[in-house]
Every structure is written in structure tokens, then in C-alpha cells.
Amino acid sequence: MEKFENSVFYQKEIESIKPDRIKSLDFAKGFAICLIILAHTAGVWKKSYLDPIYVPVYRILDVFGPPLFIFLSGVSVAFTIKRKSGKIPEKAIKNTIFIRGFSIIALGIVYNLISIGTLDVLEDNIYVPFPLNLWGWNILMFIGFSQIFTYYILRLTRGTRSLIGIAIIIATYWINPNLTRPSFLSNPVIYVLNFIIISPAPHNPIIPYITICFFSSTFGEILMEVEYLETDNAKLDAFSIFIRNGLFFLLAGITLGLINLTGNYFIEQGYQLPIFLYRSQPSNMLYSIGVALLFIGGLYYLIDIKGIENNITKMFIFYGNVSLSIFLIHHIWLPLYITTLDIWNIWFFYVGYTAFLGFLMFIWNHQFDGKYSLEWIMGKTKTKQYKNEKNLK
């Protein structure tokens, strides 16, 4: 067995179980993580007088942050599962996805413990003691769960997935208000459902964000089919599908926001902002999916079809490859400039900080082979799982 593991054939098979990289997806992940860093650094470092500027900019760019990142995760998982189906044992695929998903969930639990500790639930002054404060739908928790969930929903037809996704968006109008209404939280059943579905840290609550998985999995399958055909016409067809559907979802989200029966705008920090810019709103789900498809489609055309490659694309692709590690470590130095930066120097500090994080990960990867980074750990779990499958044979 040891001789086989050192063989060229084995090394090639190990490479075959690693996720195939589509450069445009990695670029989009890199872009998303840089905007997430911007949102967090600006939110912590800005002086209070910048709040009226920060709020509308944050709401406009938020669609390129966690919603885009979650959509990309679903596309990547679906692409990988379908690409490996039939090439390696189904059990190996399942275990790899589950190990990765539960590992990310575990990191999300630790993140909740460190970042929120205790939190008021839905501004109702409800104290959340340990260990209940471990639970919360932050971006890591949701991505980990969505990877496992995507494995199962890929067994459904694309039409069924679309219908379920639309049904969840419609149901959100009824479910979320009833789960978050303070007068209803006195009911133990409602409180438990609120805790599970919305959670004490409702950054990306399971409803309606699970909607993204139903649609992103379909477009992951489309990319897999295109890469299998390996023809320019197939790639152009995929680009057309992404753009057409992106425009449909974008316009549907904006329209749904304009006819929202509960109000079509929010007033925040003196700004009147459209409701489709706010997370967890049904219209925002459609709008976010539309923006994600248009953005990915455009990048796919420029990077994977036209083959544009320069220092900018290489930089964002690298950030995308190490995005999970950067998401965690970027919190370490946030306390350095709490409420001390103004509009003239906050951009300089943000660019410098983002460049520092990239340089740190570059050194980590090239000098220390990325050991113990999240991406390294995920790669090791896949290799170990493959070896176990070989032993079983």
C-alpha cells in the first residue's frame, strides 16, 4: 500500500479528487472577501460622523459580499460533486463533502463564541447564555450547512429545485414576521423555531438564505456540463444562460421590492433605501441571485472564455483560493483603529490592511506550504478520505 501511495498514478488520482478550479469563480470569491473585509474594517474603524455615508454604501455593496460568497459556494460544490460522480466512489464524494461541511460549521460555532458571546435576540433584550450562544447563522455556519444540503438537493430535478426555491421566497413573507414578532416569542414553540431558523446571530438565517442553494446548484451543474464538453460554443452558451437568468432574477427582485405589501423601502440613518437591498427580504434573495449570475457570467466570459490574465486577475484569484483563512484572520487586527479613521485616511488603511493579509497568506503558502490554514486542512481531509476508500477496497 505504501508503494502505491508514492506512485505517480496515485498522485494523479489524488489530484483528481481535488475541486477543479474555474478561474472566474476564484476571482469572484476573492472580490467578495475583499468587500467583506471592507465592510468590517470600515464598520469598526470609521468615526461616527461617517455613519450616514457608510450605511447606503454598505447596503448597495452588500450583495457582493456574503450573498455572492454563499452563491459561489453552492456553485462550486455542485460543480465538484457532478464532476467527480462516476469517477470515484459515491461514498468518497459524500464523506468529502460532509467532512468539509462539518469542519466549516465547527469553525462557525467557534466564531460565534468569540464574536458574539452573548447577544440580544431580535432587539428584545433576551439574554443568550452559554452554550446557546454557540448557535447562530453566520456566513461560516451557513456555508458549511449549504455544502451538505447541496449534496442532497442535487438529486432533485432542476425544475423541482426552482419551484421549491420560489416557494421558500414566497413563504418568507409569512414565516419570518411570525417567528420574529416579540409578542409571539413568549410561545415556547415559536421561540424554539426562532432559535433554530433565525438564530441569535441572524446574519444569514436559514430562511430565506437556503433559497440560494436551490438555484446555485443548478448553475454549478451547467458549468460542469460546459467544462465536460470543452468547446467554445458551449462556454458561450453558458455565458448566455448566466446573463439571461441574471437579468430575470435582478428585475424580479427589484419589481418584488417595489410592490412589497409590507413597504418597499427602509429609512436608515436618514436615507430612504429600497427594501430589496436588505438581507433576508424575499426581494433581496431574487436580487442577490440576479447580481451573482450577472457578475459570475461577466467574469466567466472575460477570464475563462477570453482568457484575460494580468496581475489584477491573479491577485483576486489568489485571494479567492485563500478566502476562508483570510475571513478568519482578518478579525485579529480590527481592534487597532476603533472609531479613529475619517474619510480621508480610511481607504489608505483598508488597502494597506487587505494587502498585508494577502502578503501574510502568500508567505504562509509559499514558505510553509500553507500548513494548518483552512484550505490546507480541507485538502488533507480529502486526501485522508481517499486513502481510507483505497484501504476499504
Total structural domains within the chain: 1
pLDDT tens digit string along 101-151? 998 999 899 888 876 544 433 334 455 677 777 888 999 999 999 999 999
Tell me how long the chain is: 393
| Coil, helix or strand at residue 341 | strand
Range with lowest mean pLDDT among 181-185, 303-307, 337-341: 181-185
Range with lowest mean pLDDT among 189-198, 333-342, 376-385: 376-385
Burial class (CB in 10 A: 0-12, 13-18, 19+), 51: middle
- Global pTM? 0.86
Sign, CA dihedral 40-37-339-55, equals negative
Cell of 242: 448566466
pLDDT tens digit string along 37-90? 999 999 999 998 888 889 889 999 999 999 999 999 999 999 988 888 878 888
Q: How far apart (Å, rounded) are the C-alpha atoms in residues 108 and 121?
A: 18
Instruction: Provide the residue range defining the domain that includes 222.
Output: 2-392
pLDDT band for position 266 (cuts 50, 70, 90):
confident
Whose cell is 430565506? That residue is: 208
Higher pLDDT, 4 or 106: 106
